[in-house]
Amino acid sequence: MSPANQSGIFIDPASIPQRRLHTGATMPAIGLGTFGSDHVTPAQVAEAVLGAAAVGYRHFDCASVYGNELQVGASLESILAGGIEREELWITSKLWNDKHGEDDVIDSCRKSLADLRLDFLDLYLVHFPNFHPPGCDVTARSADAQPYVHENYMKTWRKMEALVDLGLVRHIGTSNMTIPKLRLLLRDARIKPAVNEMELHPHFQQPELFHYVVSQGIQAVGYCPIGSPGRPERDRTPEDTAPTEDPVIVKIAHRHGIHPAVVCIKWAVQRGQTPIPFSVNNYRANLAGVVGDPLSDEEMRQIAAIDRDCRLIKGQVFLWKDDQTWEDLWDVHGEITPP
């Protein structure tokens, strides 16, 4: 039986909270992520997209590097053929790290559009701020990896702006950025980012970055909103924690009669961020949680108090020198790490 047939009652998309971007456009405040990690096939992701649309999702977060846009595109084509209008959907894709070259940005976007069977994207993000070639694992440093250099990033961003001018994308944004990098981009951009996508969950709340993004009129989209229990082994370290196992989250879940993962989703939406959880089985419960009874102010305060500053997606593979640790990617001291 397909996920669409297992999914249960339809949830009216009009009941889902919306985020208003600085352009005036609105984006559903919860989306379905499509990163299948190492254990969900492209076909399963595509089936989840069909099922999620059937229960009321209208926001889908994609990326070329996920390796499934061709299959997801077939699902989107089916969804649109079924009577849902294109303007009802919000589709995001992302420029991968090896496509930052000025001659690569537009072609990469066109490839995603072709795979997704769309005429335009609602949002296109620079997936990571620094260039990195494909084919390296976390145990090796690539000789061709490059650190963040603002002048180089701006060359990429100018091509992102050109995508808007060409009508291929309606909004552009950033992902995995830091405050010092965003400050430079906001200073120099002709078209400012509409969104910054970042890791956000109860054990990694990133309050300084979150509040900075909001203060600049940029929407915060949060990946790993439940702590990414299915993330690849390469992204796991012994000190990682699981927000869905936190006693505070578990107690709130018991009180509301919902799964701890749904508590994390509810917290995210009520805090003001846009979570994009991926699931092949529980996407309806996540959506229902967003439109159900809210967490109380006291419960929101309790969750705010369990932040452990525990980054789960550390990005070690993108380091550019042998003697570095993952913290160098994230400018943890408030300044861009030197080349």
What's the burial of 101, exposed, middle or buried (CB within 10 Å: 0-12/13-18/19+)?
Answer: middle
126: three-class secondary structure by DSSP = strand
Q: How far apart are CA 152 and CA 149, in angstroms?
A: 5
**Residues 66, 124, 153, 283: which is the catalytic one?**
66
Is residue 212 annotated as a catalytic residue, yes or no?
no
Q: How far apart are CA 133 and CA 125, in angstroms?
A: 18
pLDDT in tens, the chain (339 residues): 344 444 468 999 999 999 999 999 999 999 999 998 778 999 999 999 999 999 999 999 999 999 999 999 999 999 999 999 999 999 999 999 999 999 999 999 999 999 999 999 999 999 999 999 887 766 678 888 999 999 999 999 999 999 999 999 999 999 999 999 999 999 999 999 999 999 999 999 999 999 999 999 999 999 999 998 777 777 788 889 999 999 999 999 999 999 999 999 999 999 999 999 999 989 999 999 999 999 999 999 999 999 999 999 999 889 999 889 999 999 999 999 999
Q: From residue 334, give the alpha-carbon distance in Å to each of 173, 308, 329, 330.
A: 21, 19, 12, 9
| Distance in Å from the first CA to the final CA of the chain | 52
Residue indicated by tokens 């951009």: 189
